[in-house]
Amino acid sequence: MARNVRRRTTAALIAAGALAVSALTGPAAQGQADEKITFTVGVSQEIDSLNLSIGLLVVDYEVWNLQFAALTELSDEDFSPLPGLAESWTTSEDGLTWTYSLREGLQWSDGEPLTADDVVYSIERPRDEEWACCYEIIKNLEARAIDARTVEVITSVPDPKLPGLGYVIPKHIYEPIDTEALADYKAEDGIGSGPFVLTDHNPGESWRMERNELWYGEEPYIDEIIFRYFADPDQMVTALENGEVDAIDSVDEDLIESTEANADLVVVEGGQGGFSHVGMNTGDGLGDQHPALADREVRQAINRAINREVLLDEVAGGRGTVGTVIGAGASNIWEPEIAPEDLFTFDPDAANQQLDDAGYLDTDGDGVREMPDGTNPLNFRLHIRADTPSDEEKAQFIGPWLADIGIDTEVLVATEDELTAILGRGEFDMFTWGWVPFVDPSGMLSSLICDQVTVDPDEPLYNDANWCNEEFDRLYEEQNQELDRERRVEIVHEMLRLFYEEAPYVVLYKANDISAYSKEWTGFIRQPADTGPILFTNSSHSYLTIRPVDVPARDGDGDGDATPATDAKDGDGGGLSTGVIVGGVLGAGAIGAIAIASAMAGRRRRSEDRE
Amino acid sequence: MTLRTILRRSLLAVVTLFITVLLNFLLLRVVRTDPVATMTRGRKVSAEKRAELREKFGLDDSTVVQFLKYLKELLKGNLGYSFQTGRPVTTEIFSKIWPTISLIGISTLLSAIIGIWLGIRAGWRPGSAFDRLSTGTTMLFYSTSDAFLGLLLAYLFTSRLQWFPTGGIVDPRSDAVGLQKLFEQLHHMVLPATVLTVGYLGQYSLVMRASILETSKEDFLTLARAKGSTDDYVRRRHAVPNAMLPSITLTALSIGYVLGGSIVIETLFTWPGLGLAFSRALGAQDFPMLQGLFLVSSASVIVLTLLADLLYARLDPRVRIA
How would DSSP label each residue in A209-242?
Answer: EEE-TT-SSPPPS-SEEEEEE-S-HHHHHHHHHT
**Picking from A195-199, A258-262, B76-80, B207-211, which range would have the lowest pLDDT averaged per residue?**
B76-80
The amino acid occupying position A470 is E
State the amino acid at position A387 in one-letter form.
Answer: D
- B197 to chain A, any CB pair closer than 8 A? The answer is no
Residue of B nearest to A40 (CA): B173
Interface of B with A in 261-290 (CB under 8 A): 264, 266-270, 272, 276-277, 279-280, 283-285
Nearest to A483 by CA among A155, A80, A153, A160: A160
Query: What's B60's DSSP letter?
Result: T
Cα nearest neighbour of A133 on chain B: B43
What single-letter DSSP state applies at residue B155?
A: I
Which of B49, B158, B165 has its CB closest to that of A130? B49
Chain B residue with the nearest C-alpha to that of A18: B163
Is the CB of A32 less than 8 angstroms away from the CB of B175? Answer: yes
pLDDT for A110 equals 94
Residues of chain A contacting residue B161, judged by C-beta atoms under 8 Å apart = 15
Selected residue of A1, A6, A25 to mutate for chain B interface (largest B Cβ count, 10 A): A25
Name the 3-class secondary structure at B168: coil
Of B84, B184, B283, the CB nearest to A608: B283
Nearest CA in chain B to A60: B85
Residues 6+ apart with CB under 8 A from A36: A223, A224
Number of alpha carbons in the 13 Å side-chain half-sphere of residue A351: 24
* Binary contact (A420, B176; C-beta < 8 A): no
Provide the shortest C-alpha distance from residue A267 to chain B (in Å): 19
Element (H, E) at B47: helix B47-56
Judged by CB atoms closer than 8 Å, whether chains meet at A24 and B183 is answered as yes
Question: What are the strands, taking DSSP E only, across A263-398?
Answer: 265-270, 275-280, 320-322, 379-385
Q: What is the DSSP letter of B102?
A: I
Q: What is the largest CA-CA distance in chain B?
A: 87
Q: What is the DSSP letter of A42?
A: E
- Indicate the burial class of A232 (C-beta count within 10 angstroms; 0-12, 13-18, 19 or more): buried
**Selected residue with higher pLDDT from B41 and A143:** A143
Instruction: Give the bridge partners for A74, in sequence order.
Output: A81
A600 pLDDT more than 60: no
Residue B46 phi, psi (nearest 5): -70, 160
**Per-residue pLDDT tens for A216-247?**
999 999 999 999 999 998 999 999 999 999 99
Q: What is the pLDDT of residue B40?
A: 61
Q: How far is CA A136 from CA A99, A165, A556, in A?
A: 21, 12, 36
Q: Which of B41, B173, B279 sits opposite A29 (nearest CB)?
A: B173
Min Cα separation A21/chain B (Å): 6
- The total number of residues shown for chain A amounts to 611
What is the model's pLDDT at position B41?
56
Radius of gyration of chain A (CA): 26
Q: What is the pLDDT of residue B25?
A: 84
- Phi and psi at A537, nearest 5°, equal -90, -170
Task: Measure the CA–CA gap between A76 and A527, rounded to whole angstroms.
Answer: 5
C-beta atoms of B37 and A460 within 8 A: yes
Contact A235 B266 (CB under 8 A): no
Is residue A3 very low, low, confident or very high in pLDDT (cuts 50, 70, 90)? very low
Locate the DSSP E strands across A86-189: 86-91, 97-102, 141-147, 150-155
| Per-residue confidence band for A530, with pLDDT thresholds at 50, 70 and 90 | confident
* Binding-face residues of B in 214-233 toward A, CB within 8 A: none
Q: B51 at the A interface (CB within 8 A)? A: no
A294 class by beta-carbon count within 10 Å (0-12 exposed, 13-18 middle, 19+ buried): middle
pLDDT digits (tens, 9 = 90+) for A77-136: 888 889 999 999 999 888 889 999 999 999 999 999 999 999 999 999 999 888 867 777
Rg, Å, chain B Cα set: 24
Mean pLDDT of A377-391: 90
Residue B23 CB-half CA count within 13 A: 10
Q: Which long-range contacts (CB under 8 A, 24 or more apart) does A186-190 make?
A: A186/A49, A186/A50, A186/A51, A186/B87, A187/A49, A187/A50, A187/A51, A187/A52, A188/A50, A190/A67, A190/A109
User: Which H or E run includes B136?
Assistant: helix B129-143
Q: What DSSP letter does each residue of A321-332 carry, written as one string?
A: EE--SPP-SSSG
pLDDT at A562 over 80: no
Cβ atoms of residues A53 and A132 within 8 Å:
yes
- A597 contact residues in B (CB cutoff 8 A): 42
Tell me if B137 and A2 make a contact (CB, 8 A cut-off). Answer: yes
ipTM exceeds 0.85, yes or no: no
Q: Smallest Cβ distance to A205: which of B156, B168, B280?
A: B168
- Which residues, in sequence order, are bridge partners of residue A143? A153
3-state secondary structure of A506: strand
- Cβ burial of A573 (10 Å; 0-12, 13-18, 19+) is exposed
Query: Could you tell me how many residues make up chain B?
Result: 322
- Residue B54's Cβ-side half-sphere holds a number of Cα atoms within 13 Å equal to 14
CA A279/CA A519 separation, integer angstroms? 41
B87 at interface of A, judged by CB pairs closer than 8 A = yes
Task: For CA atoms A286, A289, A292, A298, give the dihedral sign.
Answer: negative
Among all residues of chain B, which has the CA nearest to that of A136?
A: B44
* B175–chain A Cβ distance below 8 A for any pair: yes
* B145 close contact with A: CB closer than 8 A: no
Counting one residue from chain A and one from chain B, the pairs whose CB atoms sit within 8 A come to: 186
Q: 3-state DSSP call for residue A521?
A: strand
Residue A472 CA from chain centroid, whole number: 24
Q: Does B90 touch chain A (CB under 8 A)?
A: no
Q: Do A235 and B270 touch (CB under 8 A)?
A: yes
pLDDT of residue A569: 32
In whole angstroms, give the CA distance from residue B298 to residue B22: 12
Looking at residue B28, its pLDDT comes to 76
pLDDT value, residue B209: 92
Query: Is the confidence at residue A321, as pLDDT, over 60?
Result: yes
Beta carbons of A136 and B44 less than 8 Å apart: yes
Residues of chain A found within 8 Å of residue B86, distances taken between Cβ atoms: 49, 51, 54, 183-184
CB A162, CB A86: distance < 8 Å: no
Q: Between vectors from CA A360 to CA A356 and to CA A366, what angle results, nearest 5°?
A: 100
* Cα A7 versus chain centre, distance: 47
- pLDDT higher than threshold 80 for residue A585: no
Measured between CA atoms, the residue of chain B closest to residue A58 is: B42
Chain B CB contacts of A421 under 8 Å are 32-34, 37
Q: If you measure CA to CA, which chain A residue comes closest to B135?
A: A3
As averages over each run of 10 residues, the pLDDT of chain B (322 residues) reads: 81 90 82 65 62 75 83 85 81 90 92 93 88 91 90 92 90 88 92 92 91 86 82 83 85 84 90 90 82 89 86 71 46
Distance of CA A361 to the CA centre of its chain: 42
CB–CB of A242 and B84 under 8 A?
A: no
